[in-house]
Chains A and B, each alone.
Chain A
Amino acid sequence: AQSVTQLGSHVSVSEGALVLLRCNYSSSVPPYLFWYVQYPNQGLQLLLKYTTGATLVKGINGFEAEFKKSETSFHLTKPSAHMSDAAEYFCAVSQGNTPLVFGKGTRLSVIA
């Protein structure tokens, strides 16, 4: 069975500061890993994904994440937070074209 743990249900950063959202996963097979963002009353938008190959993946809006197999982690980072980054972020794992297993989410607040 697969599972995802997101450390911290709420993270608050100052505008311009580093954003770090943590995700650890459990999977018995090589995982496919995803980060999604959800704005209020909207669906999920894919930020980035890891399937195979390069372990550092870059996504939209300046976000990136690094797959670390030894740590079973896929943390999301952005060098400089913007007010528009305030949203709910979900890490998810799958085995390919299978249902996604999501973490409980991390709400990011950006303080001016």
Chain B
Amino acid sequence: GAGVSQSPRYKVAKRGQDVALRCDPISGHVSLFWYQQALGQGPEFLTYFQNEAQLDKSGLPSDRFFAERPEGSVSTLKIQRTQQEDSAVYLCASSLFAGGSSYEQYFGPGTRLTVT
């Protein structure tokens, strides 16, 4: 595709529900990043994939958060038993990372999650 796409764009969940957020990176991009952006704040790193390998998940706030990228393209961020503090915009970014590239990350429009 032309850019990074994310779905759904908006998600309202009742506290305790599980949610799944999808990211379609730019075709051919090796690296994929998830960030969480709370209202009025800058994005904060959650987790990072290179192809299908999850290289860093140090930013995941709790074991309720889980991410996967099984075939090295589409990624899903899953949040189990959602809490109100999970309300945020979840941003996905991809980068080419082809050795010698400038490592520019391209961002999707985000999924705004509201937990009620």
Chain A residues with a Cβ under 8 A of chain B? 4, 32, 34, 36, 41-46, 49, 51, 90, 92, 94, 96-105
> Which of B61-69, B70-78, B79-87, B101-109 is found at the contact surface with chain A?
B101-109
Alpha-carbon separation in the docked complex, A37 to B42 (Å): 11
| Residue pair A90, B43 in contact (C-beta under 8 Å) | yes
Is A100 touching B41 in the complex (CB atoms < 8 A)? no
B residues 23-79 with Cβ under 8 Å of A?
31, 33, 35, 40-45, 48, 56, 59
Q: Kindly state whether residue B91 has any CB partner on chain A within 8 Å.
A: yes
CB–CB B97/A97 < 8 A? yes
Contact-residue bracket for chain B = 20 to 34
User: A97 with B103: in contact, given A43-B91, A43-B109 (CB under 8 Å)?
Assistant: yes
Q: Identify which of A42, A44, A51, A104 gathers the most chain B CB atoms within 10 Å of its CB.
A: A44
Docked CA distance A38–B99 (Å) = 28
Given contacts A94-B103, A97-B97, contact A44 B43 (CB under 8 A): yes
Check A45–B42 contact: CB distance below 8 A.
Answer: no
